Structure 1
Amino acid sequence: MTTSKKRNIVVIGGGSGLPVILRPLRDCNVEVTAIVTVADDGGSSGVIRNFMNIVPPGDIRNALVSLSLLPEDFLKIFQYRFDSSDEFFQNHALGNLIIAAMTEMSGDIFGAVQKLGRYMMISGKVYPVANVPLVLHADFTDGTIGSGEHEITMAHKVIERLSITTEAGQQPEPTSEVLFAIDHADMIVFGPGSLYTSILPNLVIPIVGRAVHQSNAKKVYIANIMTQKGETDHYTDASHIKAIYHNVSDHLLDYVLTNTAIVPEDYIDFQKWNEISTQVKVDTSEDKKLGVVPITGDFLKLRDQGAFHDGEKIAKELLEILDNKI
């Protein structure tokens, strides 16, 4: 008796959005590869990056946890963030320190993450998009420029174009494993996550952008639930697509998934979630003009006085696309 080969789904992104769909996809009959941005320079990741000159570990940590089959009690320890007043440990996640230690021991972030993935019994693969920390650069519409993910986010300005370099100002080189995963993908998923600081930092690496464009995989963009202050104010789902095309390449996407369930404003704590602004609206006619198939529905999950994607519903839609039912 023969068994059908599992299809390959590559998910590209970073931040807190990526794990939302990694966990449900992990439990489906597919091979999942997470390609994770390495441009983060804020919080615990930024401190470790600056002190040790290694790839920021936070987004990688979250991806590993999402795909891990270890008991939840262990994962809670790995995710534990120190609440100490100690100058060094304060706000550091234990997993970030473990990733940093393993990177220092092996001298290679990619090898360290693969080894840690085996220890954590992950179902799938987690690949940093590059082996060295990268620096994101933004040209703003007001003529100013910004460098560094944190600086760009805090500027709250409209971004005209992004680029990315190594800290030495050179063009980044993705690992061969990243390019292999893209080339052999049956589906490539972008997001959910911040358009300009989680998704595009991967795609504006020229070699990665070209590989994605040339891939025969079905390409799906998951539009954010809410816009981000200064970055994507008043963006529709089509506006996100146009930004990707403007920064990377036209005709890069096949589908866009957009939530149409109404986010109740009286539920959202805009002080707690102070980077969000208004709900992203769907523009199906513009989506179609861009050559992208719009898929709309209730993909909303309300929790902690915030608006998030329902990962289970998103995974179901992705499998429908993969099975040619959409």
Structure 2
Amino acid sequence: MSANGTKIIRVIKGRRPKVVVIGGGTGLPVIVKALHEQDADVTAVVTVADDGGSSGVIRNYINVVPPGDIRNVLVALADMPGVERDVFQYRFNSNDSFFSGHAIGNLIIAALSEMKGGIFPAIQVLSKMLNVDGHVYPASNTPLTLHAEFTDGTTQAGEAEISAAGKTIKRIHVEETDPDDHFEPRAEPEVIDAIMAADVVVLGPGSLFTSILPNLMIKNLGDAVKKTQAEVIYITNIMTQKGETENFTDAQHVQVLHDHLGEPFVDTVLVNISPVPADYLDRQRYNEISSPVKSDYPALRKMGCRVISADFLKLRDRGVFHDGDKVAAEILNLAFQVGTMKKR
């Protein structure tokens, strides 16, 4: 947006910049919404390995892909009146043993998944119903379970259980949740096509091991991210996360990504340089937060990454977040630099 609030329309060779954002959690819809408002052609690829909260309960009842992250991204890209948006996002607070804590949108997604034979076709139908500008793709059409191996040699299954284990994660992988499915997890062709056609592919922000990597561990999806000619951007988290990345530098985050995919593939890293004020964070409410991520520019450059440092910090509600507008502007600047030319 310009200073007077007028939308700035920017194009690459007669079209809107194509941005694919891969991840999950609360940070994903913030970035997706800001990119949409700055007129990018956005495709969101959302993790399906979440097993907590309302999504987890619904998944346990009817064995569908957890809908919570997908619901929030749909709303970020939807063009619908405020009252409809509020109803879709409404979370029951009754004492009913089933409905308590469930978001209406999660129930709608679960119902459509049964009607259409999977989460992927269900979300495409719902995208039309909600007037979504862009694309929302589940990383897989079937529920996946996250598995972790820790540095002490033990293993654990389940996103919430892995985070709660309090151990250092060595490696993660995903498997089909349904024990009767014996095939390798796969992303749908539309996901792969979007990644290959993108100007930029964005990873994060979000939990490294439980929001970003589960997507990349789907083999054909990870292979596409390595092969695409798009600029691959990693948004470094502002804070480290207990049970996942305590004491990690930004370079260590990237190294984990490279190690899991077997080769360097991240081109650009966005790093926040604005300090987090002491005693601002409500650590009871945001109890998964540990400490600010430290920067290791020499290590990032040694890995061949371009580093963009700026004030990406937004403080609100006694929490620490990325400023979606600033991050989106930087992503689009990179998209226009890269255009449709091949990287490297």
- TM-score category by the smaller chain? over 0.9
CA drift of 1:249 comes to 2.9
The equivalences for 1:113-152 within 5 A come to 113-152=123-162
Count matched residues. 324
Residue in 1 that maps onto 2:27: 17
Aligned 8 A contact 2:17 2:336 in 1 = no
Residue in 2 that maps onto 1:269: 282
Distance 1:73 1:226 in 2: 34
Residue in 2 that maps onto 1:89: 99
Distance 2:173 2:278 in 1: 35
Distance 2:82 2:268 in 1: 34
TM-superposition CA deviations, 1:207-255 (whole Å, max 9, x none): 1111110100000000111000121011111110001011113221000
Residue 48 of structure 1, aligned match among 23, 45, 58: 58
Letter in 2 for 1:31: D
Residue 281 of structure 1, aligned match among 268, 289, 294: 294
Residue in 1 that maps onto 2:342: none
Distance 1:297 1:282 in 2: 12
Distance 2:226 2:315 in 1: 34
TM-superposition CA deviations, 1:150-171 (whole Å, max 9, x none): 1111112110001111023642
Distance 1:163 1:58 in 2: 21
Matched, 1:317 2:327: no
Aligned 8 A contact 2:281 2:320 in 1 = yes
TM-superposition CA deviations, 1:133-163 (whole Å, max 9, x none): 0011100011110101111111121100011
Distance 2:66 2:243 in 1: 24
Matched, 1:290 2:300: no
Secondary structure, aligned partner of 2:226: helix
Distance 2:13 2:303 in 1: 38
User: Which portions of structure 1, spanning 4 or more consecutive aligned residues, are displaced by more than 4 angstroms?
Assistant: none
Aligned 8 A contact 2:43 2:134 in 1 = yes
Residue in 2 that maps onto 1:256: 269
Residue in 2 that maps onto 1:217: 230
Letter in 2 for 1:136: L
CA drift of 1:97 comes to 0.4
Residue 6 of structure 1, aligned match among 16, 40, 47: 16
Distance 1:91 1:44 in 2: 6
Letter in 1 for 2:23: G
Secondary structure, aligned partner of 1:139: strand
Distance 2:289 2:52 in 1: 18
CA drift of 1:3 comes to 7.5
Distance 2:183 2:147 in 1: 13
Distance 2:149 2:173 in 1: 9
Matched, 1:305 2:315: no
Distance 1:82 1:301 in 2: 29
Residue in 1 that maps onto 2:210: 197
Unaligned runs of 5+ in 2: 1-11, 339-344
CA drift of 1:28 comes to 2.2
Matched, 1:240 2:259: no
Letter in 1 for 2:237: N
89 and 214 in structure 1: CA distance in 2 versus 1, 3 angstrom threshold: same
TM-score (normalizing by structure 1): 0.97
Aligned 8 A contact 2:118 2:142 in 1 = no
Residue 182 of structure 1, aligned match among 195, 207, 213: 195
Distance 2:120 2:337 in 1: 34
TM-superposition CA deviations, 1:7-37 (whole Å, max 9, x none): 2110000111101111011122321000011
Distance 1:182 1:49 in 2: 28
TM-superposition CA deviations, 1:240-293 (whole Å, max 9, x none): 000101111322100000111011131101111000000011211111001101
TM-score (normalizing by structure 2): 0.92
Unaligned runs of 5+ in 1: none
Residue in 2 that maps onto 1:74: 84
Q: Percent identity?
A: 52
Q: What's the C-alpha RMSD, in Å, of the aligned pairs? A: 1.4
Aligned 8 A contact 2:19 2:200 in 1 = yes
Secondary structure, aligned partner of 2:202: strand
